[in-house]
Structure 1
Amino acid sequence: MATAAFDPGGLTARLTLEAPLESPDGQGGANRTWSAVASLWARIEPVTALAGEEAGGGRVTITHAIWMRHRGDVSSGMRLVKGGRVFVVETAHDPDESGRYLLCRCREEGR
């Protein structure tokens, strides 16, 4: 299998990887908070922007491909944060199975 043609100098975005923490809310549900796991360098590539309607209002869903150095602790449900921007990890995989990079498909929240 060919290795991913990727310039590591393109990892210019500083992101914080966060994992969800859930605690009981006393009423049978849970409160979700976020805990920082790591600070890392990544490359953010916009992929799609889809306009839709939700509850009578407009909503845009933006997806991104986020590249980073390989980590074994990234999974769907985690999120990456850059300033006020939040990217929810939907999938994470090694694109060429070389153990060098990790490609996360993410959905940006709040846009």
Structure 2
Amino acid sequence: MTHTPIGARRRRFVLEMPLDAPDGFGGSLRRYVAGPVVWGSLERAETDARRRNGRGDAAVVYRLALRWRAGVSPEMRLAAGPRRFAIRSAADPDGGRRDLVCEVEEISPGEAA
């Protein structure tokens, strides 16, 4: 993938960081807190067929390109208004620290809580 022009990064995303807290029963509860605002481009990459709760579902996978930043990991997620995207992977495609390309999957509203 080549360098993504700045003008192509028109969508505003909020990088959400995980915050784990004890649940009082020996486990933990994960919630997400808003982090930095980033600008990126989002394009549909593929459809991933899988089984959830005994039925077949098709998850849509997107490719999100943004300016390179260190520390982005699959534990984080991205928000664009009411939409939430789980980060599957994040990579610097050419090693030049200009772009960060994330493979993301949209989270349904019931899963985003």
Residue in structure 2 matched with residue 67 of structure 1 by the alignment: 65
Q: Percent identity?
A: 33
| 1:102, distance to aligned residue in structure 2 (A) | 0.4
| Counterpart position of 1:45 | 43
Tell me, yes or no, if the aligned pair for 2:3 and 2:99 is still in contact at 8 Å: no
Q: CA-to-partner distance for each residue in 1:22-77, whole Å, 9 max, x for gaps?
A: 00101011111101110111000111124554335553311111000010021112
Instruction: Give 5+ residue unaligned stretches, structure 1.
Output: none
One-letter identity of the residue aligned with 1:98: G
Runs of 4+ in 1 over 6 A off after TM superposition: none
TM-score by length of 1: 0.87
How many matched pairs? 109
Q: Secondary structure at the match of 2:90?
A: strand
Structure 2 partner of 1:4: 2
- Alignment correspondent of 1:81: 79
Q: Which residue of 1 aligns with 2:52?
A: 54
For residue 21 of structure 1, what is the aligned residue in structure 2? Answer: 19
Give the alignment of 1:98-109 within 5 angstroms: 98-109=96-107
Secondary structure in structure 2 of the residue aligned to 1:9? helix
Where does the alignment leave 5 or more consecutive residues of structure 2 unmatched?
A: none
Q: Check the 8 A contact 2:8/2:41 in 1, yes or no.
A: yes
Q: Letter of the 1:83 partner, please give it.
A: G
CA distance in 2, matches of 1:67, 1:93: 10
